[in-house]
Structure 1
Amino acid sequence: MISQSHLEYSLLAGEVLRGKLISKEEALLLLNTPDDELLELLAGAYRIRKSYFGNKVKLNMIINAKSGLCPEDCGYCSQSIVSEAPVEKYALLDRDQLIDGAKEALQRKAGTYCIVMSGRKPSKREVADVASAVRTIRETTSLKICACLGLISQEDAHELAEAGVQRFNHNLNTSEHRYEEICHTHSYQDRVNTVTYAKQAGMSPCSGVIIGMGEAHEDVVDVAFALREMDVDSIPVNFLNSIDGTPLAGLKELDPRYCLKALALFRYVNPTKEIRVSGGREVNLRSLQPLSLYAANSIFVGDYLTTQGQEPTSDWKMIEDLGFEIEEYAQ
């Protein structure tokens, strides 16, 4: 058994680069790294990150294409049926609004444009409307298009892929073991199935986690390994930004150092994958936000769904100050 005192982060990083798949025991030790060893942990994570991604940072922008009106009871979400948070409620934006969002993504220097809808699953008309807008966007820009529309069928997945959607997101959010503590209106397996359908249709699978919902460290490790087993290409790591009016309101158990340990864990477990610092980074990482990019290679730029993000100019400056660079994009 490996003890914390015998964990050599740099050596472990080197083994990962040589193809080693770390064990759950080792992953748990990474997540339990003492604060005074945090920089050593990040140095190892950066060694892995740099090997696969250099100092490039991918920028992604979200458009909240349909807000509120959701029948699901996810405890973290301000748009769910059990939420009393005062959020905007509107049906799917029209085609021109979705296309205008792509133009805004380019202005923010984003290479990926994420069309996100609230709701359990999209209607056939909503799938068709998103597909129509995506075709126009792909004809006029080189933006990568990611869709996050809820649970989808195999038929929906093929229609979106044929329209030019390159990536589909559906987060696992937490471990299978405790999923029912977070949501009762759909299952963990429903989420796995949606990611599988997207992958089978030829879209790049994107799935991630929300950390800080009362889970144990073992749960974080379990979901990191589940995503490795599913072989997803992109992993958004969200940190709970608890919103008044939701079942998880007032839950604030994270500190910036633990958030950095979690990001490093995902890099060691999924070394070749895009790791994205996602929702809640501003309120949970606070002044340590720049250090997150030593493990992660991607961020969201601008606002999230119902919460505000950092100003794009601040993100650009943060990347520049690190000596990193925004991954090239083209209009």
Structure 2
Amino acid sequence: MCEEVVQSGKGISRADAEMLINLPDSATLDLLAGARRIRSAVTTNPSFTCGIVNAKSGKCSENCSFCAQSKYHDTGAPIYPLIEPHTLLTRAKELEAAGANRYGIVTSGMALSDKELDTVCEAALAITTQTSLNVCGSLGQLSPDMALRLRQAGFSSYHHNLETARSHFSAICSTHEYDEDIASVQIALDAGFRVCSGGILGLGENRNQRVELACTLRDLNVPSVPMNFLTPVKGTRLENQPLLPASEALRAIAVYRFILPTQDILIAGGRENTLGELQSLIPMAGANGLMIGNYLTTSGRSTNDDIAMLTSLGVL
């Protein structure tokens, strides 16, 4: 099956992906080997690193069961308004110095106000002028007018996760519909953004629902897929959800590569707790991107350690 993907450059069917993801544990290393072969032969972007800034934190109107920033949860997560453009620029320069290629400005909430949109556009203009970073916005639901303004300001990518499979979404969020997220992804694609959309694994979904999410992203023709792993946060509805076993996480990464041979697959939040010492297997499992630095409300691994790991593996 691996060689078929290499030869055709096309991902496997949903039925074949469900077969792969449900193979016995003894097949996990073979899955990783196949995914690495596809990554090396088919994936167009060899490797990249991404960093983010939590530009506006807390009081989100949505009730996503995993989120520390939801107003429905009492987690002690920081709460502050949108930070100023010069601070966003400073953080961008720090991440560039640490080895990031891409920089994501992330805000809590359903969507930005007009004033907030002005602020992030001002920041993007400064960042694209004063650094070599590609700037990504993760700014909530998107409208065509907002997309146009962001593009004109220098944003090259837009990030909007679907979070989980459609069939599992009602168990995770009830304050907006799945189709609203689909619509924002489509608006971003239509505006010419390099769209980054994925989800969080370990939300209580089953293996086939992980495949379902990947196939939805393929149907949308999303070029970049971030894979996060739940870090249960005290005060959220999923505070007692067990961590996804490392073998399950690696298996999912590998199967995503079989489904999405040409897309960028970025491993992001939760990898430290879920994978631990096995993080060096991330490229071997088929991923070609890594988020470095801290996340929204949790700390990441040392950027120096991450860059050293990628360099020692020969993928950076």
Q: Give the TM-score normalised by the residue count of structure 1.
A: 0.92
2:112 to 122, 125, 144: 122
RMSD: 1.3
Partner of 1:304: 295
The secondary structure found in structure 2 opposite 1:103 is helix
Deviates more, 1:204-213 or 1:15-24: 15-24
Write out aligned runs for 1:34-183 (5 A).
Answer: 34-53=24-43, 56-183=46-173
- Listed one character per residue, the Cα deviations across residues 83-132 of structure 1 (whole Å, up to 9, x for unaligned) are 11011100000010111111011111000000000011111111111011
Q: Structure 1: how far apart are the matches of 2:314 and 2:30?
A: 20
Q: Structure 1: how far apart are the matches of 2:193 and 2:263?
A: 15
Partner of 2:278: 288
2:5 to 9, 12, 16: 16
The one-letter code sitting in structure 2 at the alignment partner of 1:174 is T
Divergent runs of 4+, >6 A: none
Q: Is the 8 A contact 1:171 1:209 kept in 2?
A: yes
Partner of 2:304: 313
1:30 deviation in Å? Answer: 1.8
Percent identity reads: 39
Q: Structure 2: how far apart are the matches of 1:313 and 1:139?
A: 26
Unaligned runs of 5+ in 2: none
Q: Is the 8 A contact 2:43 2:261 kept in 1?
A: no
1:13 deviation in Å? Answer: 1.3
Write out aligned runs for 1:226-241 (5 A).
Answer: 226-241=216-231
The one-letter code sitting in structure 2 at the alignment partner of 1:257 is S
Deviates more, 1:51-60 or 1:174-183: 51-60
Q: Structure 1: how far apart are the matches of 2:46 and 2:310?
A: 9
Deviates more, 1:222-231 or 1:200-209: 200-209
1:16 deviation in Å? Answer: 0.9
- Listed one character per residue, the Cα deviations across residues 64-89 of structure 1 (whole Å, up to 9, x for unaligned) are 00000211101010000111101110
Partner of 1:266: 256
Q: Is the 8 A contact 2:231 2:243 kept in 1?
A: no
Q: Are 1:25 and 2:4 matched, yes or no?
A: no
The one-letter code sitting in structure 1 at the alignment partner of 2:54 is N
Q: Is the 8 A contact 2:265 2:289 kept in 1?
A: yes
Deviates more, 1:75-84 or 1:15-24: 15-24
1:34 deviation in Å? Answer: 2.3
Q: Structure 1: how far apart are the matches of 2:19 and 2:199?
A: 19
Q: Is the 8 A contact 1:234 1:275 kept in 2?
A: yes
